[in-house]
Amino acid sequence: MTMELFKISKLTGMPHVMTIPLTEQAYGYLYNQWKNENRLIQDVFCMLNEDEREFIMNGITPEEWKSTWLAYDDYQQEEKDNA
């Protein structure tokens, strides 16, 4: 079973949806363990990959991370070129 998870990116404020391989019931149970029992997300959501866990924490998609870091690298290169 899978579910669609809706989050707002803490990086850009943009809404995103990601399909994760959990039922809504399992997600709710695990989310409560993570948030209310001060457990590490990688321990609670060990069946998910890093991208899925990052999305749960911050609403940031892999594509958004990549484009942000590419833009940052471009900015750094531009700064070097203008120095």
pLDDT at 71: 65
**CA–CA gap between residue 20 and residue 79 (Å, rounded):** 39
User: Cα–Cα distance between 15 and 56 in angstroms, integer?
Assistant: 13
pLDDT tens across 34-57, in order?
999 989 999 999 999 999 999 999
* Residues 34 and 44: beta-carbon distance below 8 Å: yes
Q: What is the pLDDT of residues 9-37, one digit of tens each?
A: 999 999 999 999 999 999 999 999 999 99
75 falls in which pLDDT band (50, 70, 90)?
A: low
Phi then psi dihedrals of residue 3, to 5 deg:
-140, 155
Predicted model pTM? 0.81
Q: Where in the chain are the domains?
A: 3-82
Q: Stretch 49-73: mean pLDDT, rounded? A: 89
- Please name which of 8, 20, 11 lies closest in space to residue 67, comparing C-alpha atoms: 11
Looking at this protein, which amino acid is placed at residue 67?
A: S
Query: How many other C-beta atoms lie within 10 A of the C-beta of residue 41?
Result: 19
Q: What is the mean pLDDT of the segment spanning 55-65?
A: 95
> Looking at the predicted structure, is the pLDDT value of residue 83 above 80?
no
